[in-house]
């Protein structure tokens, strides 16, 4: 998504986790598929990749300029990863009780933050940022994961529509993600 927002020309190789290229194992010591190779640099954490791309290609900026706002942006992303994405593995696991609990927890967390989307166009900001790049893929997959948001979630659903309509978001969707109906 950051690549698309910044209109960076790249070669993207979609890799099946089960049939990953051998050289990927040599490049990424953490056994994860997501890996960015830029000349001699290899980066393999989504949050670090996003910040690297924002610094390497500064226009348009996706991080605030001042240190306090930058730290706040990082904290929001940390909470999204810890409070929401940490539950995704349970959603696709074989344990239906764990999946139901994960769905409920994600739904409740999204309902709790929904009112903040009445105050700003984007996540706690009037400017699109890396927090939006972090949160929006999860929102895109809510229906796929079987998470239903009720009427009090209307502000976050309107936010999701705004983000999904962005050219960068649409350009960033993989063929598989395009098939996920929303």
* Chain segment 104-124, per-residue pLDDT in tens: 999 999 999 999 999 999 999
Rounded CA gap, 7 and 146, in Å?
Answer: 32
Q: Please state the rounded mean pLDDT for residues 18-34.
A: 80
Coil/strand/helix, residue 36 = strand
Task: Quickly count: other Cβ atoms within 10 Å of residue 15's Cβ.
Answer: 13
Query: 18-32, 51-65, 85-99, 119-133: which has the minimum mean pLDDT?
Result: 18-32
Considering the entire predicted model, what is its pTM? 0.89
pLDDT in the model for residue 159: 97
CATH for 76-179 (1.20.1050.10, 3.40.50.10490, 1.10.3720.10, 3.40.50.1860): 1.20.1050.10
Phi, psi of 42 (to 5 degrees): -125, 125
What are the domain boundaries of the chain? 2-56, 76-179
Bridge partners, 43 (sequence order): 36
Q: Which fold has domain 2-56?
A: Glutaredoxin (3.40.30)
The mean pLDDT of the chain is: 92
């Amino acid at each position: 998504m950051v690549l698309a927002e910044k209109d960076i020309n790249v070669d993207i190789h979609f890799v099946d986790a089960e049939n990953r290229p051998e050289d990927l194992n040599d490049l990424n010591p953490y056994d994860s598929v997501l890996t960015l190779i830029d000349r001699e640099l290899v980066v393999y954490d989504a949050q670090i990749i996003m910040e690297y791309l924002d610094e390497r290609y500064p226009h348009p900026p996706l991080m605030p300029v001042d240190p306090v706002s930058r730290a706040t942006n990082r904290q929001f992303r940390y909470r999204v990863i810890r409070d929401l994405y940490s539950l995704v593995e349970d959603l696709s696991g074989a344990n239906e009780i764990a999946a139901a609990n994960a769905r409920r927890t994600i739904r409740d967390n999204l309902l709790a933050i929904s009112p903040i989307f009445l105050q700003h166009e984007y996540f706690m900001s009037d400017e699109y940022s890396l927090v939006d790049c972090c949160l929006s893929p999860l929102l895109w997959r809510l229906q796929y994961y079987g998470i239903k948001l009720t009427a009090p979630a209307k502000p976050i659903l309107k936010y999701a529509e705004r983000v999904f309509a962005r050219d960068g978001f649409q350009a960033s969707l993989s063929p598989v993600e395009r098939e996920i109906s929303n």
